[in-house]
Amino acid sequence: MNPPLKVQRSILQHLGLPLDTLVQTKPVSGGCIHHGVRLLAGEKSYFLKWNCGSLASVFPSEVDGLSRIAQKGVIKTPGVIALGTPEELEGCGYLLLEWISASPSPTLLSFRKLGEQLALHHLKTDSVFFGLDIDNYIGSTPQKNSPTANWVEFFRTQRLQFQFELALKNHLLTETQRKRLQKLMDHLEKWLPATPKPSLLHGDLWIENVLFDIEGTPILIDPAIYYGDREADLAFTELFHGFPADFYRAYQSVFPLEPEYQERKVLYNLYHLLNHLNIFGESYGAAVDRILIQYVG
C-alpha cells in the first residue's frame, strides 16, 4: 500500500527533494495499528508509517519517547527524519525514520549487550516523580501519565484504574472480575513499593519492539515512555517471551533485581493484559482471571 500523495509531497518537502521525485515503497512485516513501508526516495531508504484515521495524531508522542530514550545516551533509537501531523495534512499523520538494516538472527552477545544497556539506562534517572509531563499511547490506547509522587498511587490510578474503567465501558468484565479487580486496586500497597527509584521506562518492551542492526547493536522502537519502577519494563519482557536467559543475566550483573520482583512482575503485567483485553477482546479474559485469583482469590 502506498502512502497518500499529500503524505508523499510532505516527505519530499522535508527531505528537500523536488516534488516530482520518484517515490518507491516496499512492504515490511509487523504492525497492526498503522500502515508501514520501506520508502525509497532520492537514492536513500527510510521507514515510514502513517495513519489517516483516529490515531493520526499519535506520532508526536512517539517522537518524544524516542528522543528522551536517546537523550539518556545509553540505548540507540532510530533517527527521526520527518514528522507530519493531521493539522498539516488534512487528517493524516506520519513518522519518517531512518532505515535500520536489521539482523534476522541476533546473537546471544547482542542480547547481553541489550541487557547491560537497559540496566544502565534504568540507572540514569532525573525524575523525582512517577509518570510524565505529557500523556501518550500504549499501542492504540491512550496512556495517562499525570505525575505522582507515590508509585502505588500512580500505578493504581494511571494504569489499572484507567484500564478498569475502559473495560467496564467496553463490557469486557464479568461482575466477579470487577469485584476482584477493585479489591486488588484497593490493596496494592500489600505488594508494590511506594517509592522505588523512578526510571525512564520504554513502557512497551516486548521482543517486537527491539531491533538489532547488522553489527548487533540494540535499537528500541515504538516506546510508550514514562517514569516508573524499572521492574515493570523487565516484567513485560517476560510476558510474551522472546528474550533469552543471557539478556536477564546481563541485566542483573549491572542492576540486580530484588527477590520480590518474582511476585511483583505478575502484577505489573496485569496492566498490559487489561490493555490487550480492551484492544483485542475476551481472548485475554482468562489471563486476567489467573492474576486476579492469584492475588485476591
Output the nine-digit C-alpha cell for 39.
Answer: 520508502
Residues 297 and 295: their CA atoms lie apart, in Å, by 6
CA atoms within 13 A on the CB side of 128: 0
Phi, psi of 228 (to 5 degrees): -160, -170
The rounded distance, in Å, linking the Cα atoms of 168 and 174 is: 9
Distance CA 159, CA 278 (A): 13
Residue 296: Cβ-neighbour burial (10 angstroms; 0-12, 13-18, 19+): middle
| CA 84 – CA 94 distance, rounded (Å) | 5
Q: Which of 245, 53, 213, 234 is nearest to 140 (CA)?
A: 53
Residue 187 CA to residue 95 CA, distance in Å, equals: 41
Catalytic positions: 204
Helices 175-186, 285-296: axis angle to 10 degrees equals 50
